[in-house]
């Protein structure tokens, strides 16, 4: 059996040598994985009474990640979090991961192993098993595609299309931190000589590099039947609320003063002369959950926050479709909430 040295390259170990190494790095242990890596398809033994959730995401070098300011391990961690977050938004339990990748053959094998360590690190709190994938060479950029599978008790999943007029709108955590963190990291990568980040900047950068999938909150909201609808905030609140409104055929009022802003984002905004509310509305990649729940369940929502130690803020209400989507400021002035979050091809 060969051992991997830091000098091994993809050219020397080849596709199958690489897969063997990754398989040893992340061995499966669940009895529900009847066959993991090594055959033409994985075989899983689902539990009765459960529905399967499946979601996939791609991550392209230069579009979704930049090795100028992210380590390969950060890339893996963030990619897995994006995937886990989709399962969180459905209220499910993440279980199995498939990893497909295309990599330029000059990439050191240690980078690929570091991607997987990042994936493993993000997945380990939930005992997610690596059950397969696909591996190819790429001419230029690295490409990663993750498919995650999870389960949920039948008919308990949280979807985008069940928000009801009168529901409260809630979000977990604080908003806009990841986008500010990206700004901090990019600026630093382009500044010579390298400057040291202040504490608030470090914290924001960390929120970008190591976001938290809200699995535990999502699971409780689904299990206890608290939420009507949910989505994870990946593109930015102003756009993601739009998906809920469209799918549920409702409108929404968002209260600008109720948006949860971290003290670090406020400091950043002051130092950079920007509006933190804009970051909260337009910034992507927070991977917080947005959900709606009937107002009578407000105490139950507070109990979930207390139990999970994740802050949850009420930021508005679901309105009839004719109301549209509006942002209310503190003196009662309202404006149309424009969808200005991240979108590809624009
Ligand atoms: P096939 O030729 O049938 O597509 P492969 O040779 O591509 O099979 O893959 C062999 C085994 O290795 C399969 O079980 C596959 O799921 C797994 N595998 C391939 N690439 C990866 C990867 N990047 N990460 C995890 N498992 C992988
Ligand atoms: Mg294959």
Whether the CB of 284 sits within 6 Å of ligand 1: no
CA 86 to ligand 1 centroid distance, Å: 24
Count Cβ atoms within 10 A of the Cβ of residue 41 and give its class: 0-12 exposed, 13-18 middle, 19 or more buried. Answer: exposed
Whether the CB of 330 sits within 6 Å of ligand 1: no
pLDDT of residue 189: 87
Report the percent of the chain where pLDDT is more than 70. Answer: 96
**Could you give the CA distance from residue 301 to residue 304 in angstroms, rounded to a whole number?**
5
70-82 confidence digits (pLDDT tens): 999 999 999 999 9
Task: Answer whether 69's CB lies under 8 Å from 202's CB.
Answer: no
pLDDT of residue 336: 95
101-157 confidence digits (pLDDT tens): 999 988 889 999 999 999 999 999 999 999 999 999 999 899 999 999 999 999 999
Q: Which residue, judged by its Cα, is nearest atom 26 of ligand 1?
A: 132
pLDDT of residue 204: 97
**Beta-strand runs (E) in 23-117:** 33-35, 43-44, 50-60, 93-103
User: Over the chain, what is the mean pLDDT?
Assistant: 93
CA 133 to ligand 2 centroid distance, Å: 7
Q: Assign 209 to helix, strand or coil.
A: helix
Whether the CB of 132 sits within 6 Å of ligand 1: yes
- Calculate mean pLDDT across residues 49-55: 96
Whether the CB of 33 sits within 6 Å of ligand 1: no
186-218 confidence digits (pLDDT tens): 998 888 888 889 999 999 999 999 999 999 999
Task: Tell which atom from ligand 1 comes closest to the C-alpha of 39.
Answer: 14
CB-based neighbours (< 5 A) of ligand 2, an ion: 134
Q: In the structure, what pLDDT confidence band is assigned to residue 344 with cuts at 50, 70 and 90?
A: low
pLDDT of residue 194: 82
Question: Does the domain made of 6-153 have the CATH classification 3.40.50.720?
Answer: no
Determine the longest span between alpha carbons in the chain, in angstroms: 71
pLDDT of residue 331: 87
Task: Name the residue ranges covered by the structural domains of the chain.
Answer: 6-153, 168-336
Q: Assign 210 to helix, strand or coil.
A: coil
Whether the CB of 39 sits within 6 Å of ligand 1: yes
Q: Which residue, judged by its Cα, is nearest atom 7 of ligand 1?
A: 134
Q: Is the pLDDT of residue 16 over 50?
A: yes
Q: Is the pLDDT of residue 7 over 70?
A: no
Higher confidence at residue 12 or residue 206? 206
Q: Which residue, judged by its Cα, is nearest atom 27 of ligand 1?
A: 133
Whether the CB of 41 sits within 6 Å of ligand 1: no
88-111 confidence digits (pLDDT tens): 999 999 999 999 999 998 888 999
CATH number (3.30.470.10, 3.10.28.10, 1.10.287.3510, 3.90.650.10) of 168-336 reads: 3.90.650.10
- pTM (2 d.p.): 0.94
CA 135 to ligand 2 centroid distance, Å: 6
């Amino acid at each position: 059996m060969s051992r991997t040295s830091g000098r091994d390259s993809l050219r020397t170990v080849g596709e199958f040598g690489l897969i063997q190494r990754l398989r040893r790095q992340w061995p499966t242990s669940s009895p529900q994985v009847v066959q993991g890596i090594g055959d033409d398809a994985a075989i899983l033994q689902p539990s009765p009474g459960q529905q399967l959730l499946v979601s996939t995401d791609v991550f392209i070098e230069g579009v979704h990640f930049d090795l100028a300011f992210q380590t390969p391990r950060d890339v893996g961690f963030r990619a897995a979090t994006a995937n886990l977050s989709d399962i969180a938004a459905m209220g499910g339990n993440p279980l199995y991961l498939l990893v497909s990748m295309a990599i330029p053959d000059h990439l050191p094998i240690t980078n690929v192993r570091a991607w997987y360590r990042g994936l493993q690190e993000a997945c380990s709190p939930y005992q997610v098993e690596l059950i397969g994938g696909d591996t190819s060479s790429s001419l230029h950029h690295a490409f990663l595609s993750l498919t995650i599978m999870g389960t949920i008790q039948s008919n308990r999943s949280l979807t985008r299309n069940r928000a009801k007029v009168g529901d409260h709108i809630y979000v977990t955590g604080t908003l806009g931190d990841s986008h500010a963190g990206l700004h901090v990291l990019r600026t630093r990568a382009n500044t010579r000589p390298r400057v040291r980040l202040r504490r608030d900047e470090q914290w924001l950068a960390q929120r970008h590099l190591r976001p938290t999938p809200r699995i535990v909150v999502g699971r409780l909201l689904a299990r206890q039947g608290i939420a009507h609808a949910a989505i994870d905030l990946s593109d930015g609140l102003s756009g993601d609320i739009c998906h809920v409104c469209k799918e549920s055929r409702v409108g929404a009022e968002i209260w600008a003063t109720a948006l949860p802003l971290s003290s670090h984002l406020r400091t950043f905004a002051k130092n950079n002369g920007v509006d933190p509310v804009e970051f909260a509305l337009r910034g992507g990649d927070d991977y917080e959950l947005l959900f709606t729940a009937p107002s009578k369940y407000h105490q139950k929502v507070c109990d979930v926050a207390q139990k999970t130690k994740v802050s949850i803020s009420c930021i508005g209400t679901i309105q009839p479709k004719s109301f549209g989507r509006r942002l209310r400021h503190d003196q009662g002035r309202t404006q149309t909430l424009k969808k200005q979050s991240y979108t590809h091809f624009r």
